[in-house]
């Protein structure tokens, strides 16, 4: 196993990012990540004391990781083996930010002790399901800031990108140039209040390449369910993209008439919301567990 410290971070996914680490296929990498505020957001009377640095909500993503043997047209397979959280997470609400901002009367920043897989909000116990907010490769052209999700991955804020999941990302550049960060100790679909329970963390992943097989958007496998994940300016557009990509995914793998596949999708696929607070909104289509026993990426 190799280790990559949070001192190597990017604020945009780009083919111009230098490789902070080069790994052979199959390598297990432990990646230390800052939270989305660069670990600089502190509540009043925060038990951790003063922030070690100023707030910088740049969504730093640790990377870039160059995976040897990943070529344009391939798929990068990221198996999320574990996500180890810091002892504290932070979140905030504000009348200025988020889907619920019109209902928020005052800004609140709060630190949460994370212990035994739980956090507590005014006595309400919340079980933690840690997840990765930002994970992506260099996009086909130009750069994408780490705030914005798109076909390269990025700030997808999809709560099933968690330990035990496998993420498949289309490779556009040599080495793929993978970066990740923005771990949430917990988040609900939508991320309505503008953030999750933001937390520095250590993410352990295994990286490998599937040569010559590529979907156009990120595909996630978690708990036997395949998800196509897409982002656009509106949820409706994002949902359309995710549905169209699920249809393409199925066409390549299931010997059925394409119109019948749409019938099938109408019966056993779920259109779900990942997040509604980033510069582009993210929807996903889930193919229900157990419909095709041997379906593989």
Q: Which residues bind Zn ion (CB under 5 A)?
A: 36, 133, 182, 198
| Residues in 169-208 at the binding interface with Ca ion, rule: CB under 5 A | 182
CB of 275 to Zn ion, least distance (A): 9
CA angle at 146 for the pair 142 and 147, rounded to the nearest 5°: 115
Q: Which residue in the set 98, 130, 133, 175 belongs to the binding site for Ca ion (CB under 5 A)? A: 133
Q: What is the dihedral angle through the alpha carbons of 168, 172, 173, 174, rounded to the nearest 10 degrees?
A: 50
Distance between alpha carbon 231 and the CA centroid of its chain, in Å?
Answer: 12
| Nearest residue (beta carbon) to Ca ion | 133
Residue placing its CB nearer to Zn ion in the complex, 61 or 217: 61
- Pick from Ca ion, Zn ion, none: which does 238 bind, CB < 5 to 8 A by kind? none
Strand, helix or coil for residue 265: helix
Under rule CB under 5 A, residue 155 binds Ca ion? yes
Question: Binding to Ca ion by residue 60, rule CB under 5 A?
Answer: no
Q: How far is CA 9 from CA 27, 68, 258, in A?
A: 20, 20, 43
How many angstroms separate the CA atoms of 193 and 188, rounded?
Answer: 10
Please give the radius of gyration of the chain, using alpha carbons only, rounded to the nearest integer. Answer: 19
User: Which entry of Zn ion, Ca ion, none binds 272, CB below 5 to 8 A by partner kind?
Assistant: none
148 binds Ca ion (CB under 5 A): no
Shortest Å, Cβ 278 to Ca ion: 6
Rounded to whole angstroms, how far apart are CA atoms 269 and 262? 10
Closest to 4 (Cα-Cα) out of 18, 14, 15, 13: 18
28-33 and 2-4 strand pairing: parallel
Query: Residue 155 touches which of Ca ion, Zn ion, none (CB < 5 to 8 A by kind)?
Result: Ca ion
**Which pair of tokens denotes residue 212?**
């010559």
Classify residue 246 by its DSSP letter. H
Q: Which does 144 bind (CB under 5 to 8 A by kind): Ca ion, Zn ion, none?
A: none
Stretch that binds Ca ion, among 131-139, 205-213, 222-230, 236-244 (CB under 5 A): 131-139
Site of tokens 């190597």: 8
158 binds Ca ion (CB under 5 A): no
CB 32 within 8 A of CB 202: yes
With CB under 5 to 8 Å by kind, the binding choice for 190 among Zn ion, Ca ion, none is none
Nearer to Ca ion, 17 or 148 (CB): 148
Q: Is 149 in the site for Ca ion (CB under 5 A)?
A: no
- The nearest distance, CB 174 to Ca ion, in angstroms, is 27
How many residues touch Ca ion under the rule CB under 5 A: the total is 4
Residue ranges that bind Ca ion, judged by CB under 5 A: 133, 155, 157, 182
């Amino acid at each position: 196993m190799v280790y990559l410290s949070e001192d190597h971070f990017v604020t945009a996914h780009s083919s111009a990012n230098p490789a902070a680490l080069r790994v052979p296929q199959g390598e297990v990498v432990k990646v230390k990540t800052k939270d989305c505020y660069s670990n600089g957001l502190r509540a009043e009377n925060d038990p951790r004391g003063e922030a070690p640095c100023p707030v910088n909500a740049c969504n730093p993503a640790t990377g870039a990781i160059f995976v040897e043997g990943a070529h344009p047209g391939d798929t990068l397979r990221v198996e999320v083996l574990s996500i180890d959280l810091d002892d504290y997470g932070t979140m905030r609400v504000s009348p200025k930010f988020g889907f619920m901002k019109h209902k928020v009367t005052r800004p609140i920043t709060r630190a949460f002790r994370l212990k035994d897989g739980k956090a507590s909000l005014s006595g309400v116990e919340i079980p933690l399901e840690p997840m990765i907010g930002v994970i992506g490769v260099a996009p086909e052209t130009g750069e994408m800031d780490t705030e914005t999700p798109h076909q390269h991955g990025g700030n997808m804020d999809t709560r099933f990108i968690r330990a035990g999941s496998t993420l498949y990302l289309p490779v556009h550049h040599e080495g793929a140039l993978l970066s990740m960060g923005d771990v949430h100790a917990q988040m609900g679909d939508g991320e309505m209040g503008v953030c999750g329970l933001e937390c520095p963390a250590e993410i352990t992943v295994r990286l490998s390449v599937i040569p010559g097989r590529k979907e156009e958007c990120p595909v996630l496998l978690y708990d036997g369910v395949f998800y196509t994940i897409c982002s656009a300016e509106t949820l409706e557009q994002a949902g359309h993209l995710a549905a169209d990509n699920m249809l393409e995914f199925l066409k390549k793998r299931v010997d059925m008439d394409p119109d019948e596949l749409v019938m099938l999708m109408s019966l056993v696929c779920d259109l779900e919301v990942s997040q509604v607070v980033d510069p582009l909104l993210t929807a996903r289509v889930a193919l229900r567990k157990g419909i095709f026993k041997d379906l593989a990426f």
